[in-house]
Structure 1
């Protein structure tokens, strides 16, 4: 059967169009039936072994011998209580969630004909998660049926939106994942905002939001199990239609299949399964991606397994194995109480992100890419450019003044003048000593992110690329958090050095993994998103292991905030701008030709690889300095250069200064709004930019869906 990337990914043998028919014929041979049976038996045995091992692991001193004693009738009440109240529900939850997500991901991949489709990349989990958090904020204690219905509606709305933007997956893997990532980031921003504003009502949901199968009793599992079982049976019964759908829409229609109804019912069943998994264990990351991929890899070697009535049950077994193996790995690597605190989804996300990177590396070039230079490429007159630069400069100064005056306490210009002269009162001095570093940090970090986005879009030749989507921002976040964890009380220069090192290592990893058979724009973006997901999981792991109760601090950093900034934290980004901006100005004409194709730079004598590497290095350094100043902020690097090209054309001589000014204006405005709109409560600037930037990003995808 087709994976949807048959023309773009090196699919394994047996995975070509028509493979389902060939497999159906081949399975009639006795040897093939034996092999098929053996594969299912081995998978079932593996799941059973993992389940038994998981039952023996926990915080109490109850091991395999004690559990065997229960079977023989010689166990004590304490062992039985531990088994019934904690360990058995945990293992059953792992089996339930793994099977549900495995089948859900397999169905979504078949509908989209894309092996990168999953409840994660289609934002199903994010849509379901935000509804759970919203219910907690409102103080609504819903019964299981209503809670499941709410998560189902949230996941369905998100998946429908993403599939509509990506034309059901027909627009290619990068567009599907980009649309899903943008939608997921927007929903995650809403979720983080709710958790920051309502910390007491949502206590414990940060770790739960990564997905954990730890259960307090068996109530949720027992309520979800019948519904999940029915949904699994119906999905497998419906699966024969997916075999026909795999032949292509036209062929399926000729054979009498109602393509639209088949897709609709399949998506509904897949979203229902994913929503039930979220209701039981939270959004366990990337199981819906990794389990079906593992199943399809095995199916490439086993005749007949590509038939969906066999493939989906095997994906369910693979999902069970992935979830249980992740839980066992956590408890073996980090025993005692610390292991309980680590969400299962952290490990599954690391596995799924690795598989996503592996799939992206197999991506073949899909033909000529749309040059970044052509986006918004109407040339602007010098007068227009002068007006734009002048207006943006005035806006930047205005926001600098407004940010200084506005906040939980309003100030006057006279107060600022007195403060600058050193004659202000203690209260005014206290306020401005705290506020000025925040205002400057937002202004300078915004300019750095705008320039970083300009560089990366030109190199990737993708107007939808930005440092966050390429993993550089998350990598810088890992470095900064790791510096704080390993060196408590570290100075800002140490934290900045950690952020720079993390950004550079992430940049090197993404660049190296993306350079197979030449740098491909789609491959660069997909690898970056996979590495970014893995880096985010590492940040969660570090926070949960070192300071699990201070999730507000973690959320504030991950959401991009200027809270508590000092002038010492402003200097690194200021130094980075002073050193790196002249390099971008020097390379401005090289950016123009690199943004077009690979041939023109060589014809004009531009050292392509060296210049491209240098530009990405500058991007990493600018991003790292911004992260050290304001934390993880997304979408400024996307919106600023795109608006710059729309305003002044595609020439980087004009785009570079305009993008820097736009970045400064956007982040400064977001910071001021976040500090004042519901003062004294503060909204992190990164959440404000995400709430604005993510819809803008989705609009860009929607506007270009026809041309895709």
Structure 2
């Protein structure tokens, strides 16, 4: 009888998870449609529909397919990648405050991008495809430094030490980035300033092609390792007792989180808080099981960043507020709320 009750409860949880994922997907689709209709030059829903199926004017086709859609797709992909990266890091560290920005991974990727821009013009096509690799190197080196400093042989990986080490390393890297920006010429300085503010600067299909392969490889890997994350979330000793190769799995997942964060930061700019807020909202909606939490985080992150970018493009037309600033306005109070709860 207990087995039947447990089985029925599990089916109920799975059905609820599917319902929540479907609702998030519908909301994301609706936000995509709203974002396509939003901009300095208005395109009504019927205009968007006609243009999407090839019946619009040349001007409408240019606005929708060359300016808005690439940016919307990039925003969705960057939001999904950052949120899944944050979800992985929170699961590994068992710390609700962990995310790529907080742990310095975004800063490491940004430092490598700025170093590259200092010696290479941003107006050429090559950086579009080179930047994700460079950002991955910077993010990987930063993650390695943080992991080595936070790991103690007899104690393992302390969640508190991991966050504190990440904050310290991020502060040092941010200082180095400020020094480097002072040496840039005006054109590159303007680009870096926009990039650091979290503006979705990738606005054509080349950026989509540069980011998409990373997500196609790393997101399925993260979803495949969902059960491993469930085990690691129980603690190092428990996971070892259950037969999981803790260090091997942890390093593989950290590499996936770093790859997702680095590639997204390279194309989307210095956007923070998405990796923190996205998984938290998803966890509240769908529960702690990573089989459901990871895809929910991807949808929530994409939805959050599209909303932020749409608000930034529409609230002060013809000027734009970078999506990273809009997310920070939402994320900073939420972070303080989480910090207050953690202390309580």
Q: TM-score, normalised by structure 1?
A: 0.45
* Residues 645/552 of structure 1: CA separation in 2 closer, same or farther (3 Å cut): same
Where does structure 1 lack aligned partners over 5 or more consecutive residues? 1-378
Equivalents in 2 of 1:638, 1:445: separation in Å? 14
Deviates more, 1:688-697 or 1:474-483: 474-483
Equivalents in 2 of 1:486, 1:552: separation in Å? 15
Asked if residue 561 in structure 1 is aligned to residue 199 in structure 2, the reply is: yes
Asked if residue 457 in structure 1 is aligned to residue 90 in structure 2, the reply is: yes
Show the counterpart of 2:6.
Answer: none
Please give the residue correspondences for 1:118-137 in structure 2 after superposition, counting only pairs within 5 Å. Answer: none
**Out of 408, 413, 426, which is 2:45 matched to?**
413
Equivalents in 2 of 1:636, 1:397: separation in Å? 19
Show the counterpart of 2:319.
Answer: 681
**Out of 491, 494, 498, which is 2:134 matched to?**
498
Per-residue deviation, 1:571: 2.1
Asked if residue 484 in structure 1 is aligned to residue 117 in structure 2, the reply is: yes
Per-residue deviation, 1:550: 6.1
Does the Cα contact within 8 Å between 1:484 and 1:495 map onto a contact in 2?
no
Equivalents in 2 of 1:643, 1:422: separation in Å? 38
**Out of 81, 105, 126, which is 1:448 matched to?**
81
Asked if residue 434 in structure 1 is aligned to residue 70 in structure 2, the reply is: no
Please give the residue correspondences for 1:66-465 in structure 2 after superposition, counting only pairs within 5 Å. Answer: 381-432=13-64, 433-465=66-98
Per-residue deviation, 1:704: 3.4
Instruction: Flag the structure with higher helix content.
Output: 2
Does the Cα contact within 8 Å between 1:380 and 1:647 map onto a contact in 2?
no
Per-residue deviation, 1:421: 4.2
Aligned residues: 328
Q: Report the aligned-residue RMSD.
A: 1.8
Equivalents in 2 of 1:672, 1:703: separation in Å? 31
Equivalents in 1 of 2:259, 2:29: separation in Å? 25
Per-residue deviation, 1:560: 1.0
Does the Cα contact within 8 Å between 2:201 and 2:267 map onto a contact in 1?
no
Where does structure 2 lack aligned partners over 5 or more consecutive residues? 1-10
Equivalents in 2 of 1:602, 1:563: separation in Å? 44
Does the Cα contact within 8 Å between 2:103 and 2:167 map onto a contact in 1?
yes
Asked if residue 627 in structure 1 is aligned to residue 260 in structure 2, the reply is: no
Show the counterpart of 2:8.
Answer: none
**Secondary structure class of the residue paired with 1:606:** coil
* Residues 510/464 of structure 1: CA separation in 2 closer, same or farther (3 Å cut): same
Equivalents in 1 of 2:305, 2:12: separation in Å? 25
Q: Which has the higher contact order (CA 8 A, sep 6+)?
A: 2
Equivalents in 1 of 2:338, 2:210: separation in Å? 33
Show the counterpart of 1:600.
Answer: 238
> 1:281-306 deviations in whole A, cap 9, x for unaligned?
xxxxxxxxxxxxxxxxxxxxxxxxxx
Asked if residue 701 in structure 1 is aligned to residue 339 in structure 2, the reply is: yes
Equivalents in 1 of 2:284, 2:165: separation in Å? 28
Please give the residue correspondences for 1:612-691 in structure 2 after superposition, counting only pairs within 5 Å. Answer: 612-691=250-329
**Out of 111, 123, 148, which is 1:512 matched to?**
148
Equivalents in 2 of 1:556, 1:647: separation in Å? 33
Q: TM-score, normalised by structure 2?
A: 0.90
* Residues 383/421 of structure 1: CA separation in 2 closer, same or farther (3 Å cut): closer
Does the Cα contact within 8 Å between 1:569 and 1:628 map onto a contact in 2?
no
Equivalents in 1 of 2:138, 2:188: separation in Å? 23
Equivalents in 2 of 1:552, 1:382: separation in Å? 48
Per-residue deviation, 1:551: 4.7
**Secondary structure class of the residue paired with 1:468:** coil
Q: Write out the 4+ residue segments of structure 1 that deviate beyond 6 Å after TM superposition.
A: none
Equivalents in 1 of 2:106, 2:55: separation in Å? 41
> 1:216-271 deviations in whole A, cap 9, x for unaligned?
xxxxxxxxxxxxxxxxxxxxxxxxxxxxxxxxxxxxxxxxxxxxxxxxxxxxxxxx
Equivalents in 2 of 1:524, 1:702: separation in Å? 19
Show the counterpart of 2:162.
Answer: 524
Per-residue deviation, 1:425: 2.5
**Secondary structure class of the residue paired with 2:115:** helix
Per-residue deviation, 1:498: 1.3
Does the Cα contact within 8 Å between 1:380 and 1:649 map onto a contact in 2?
no
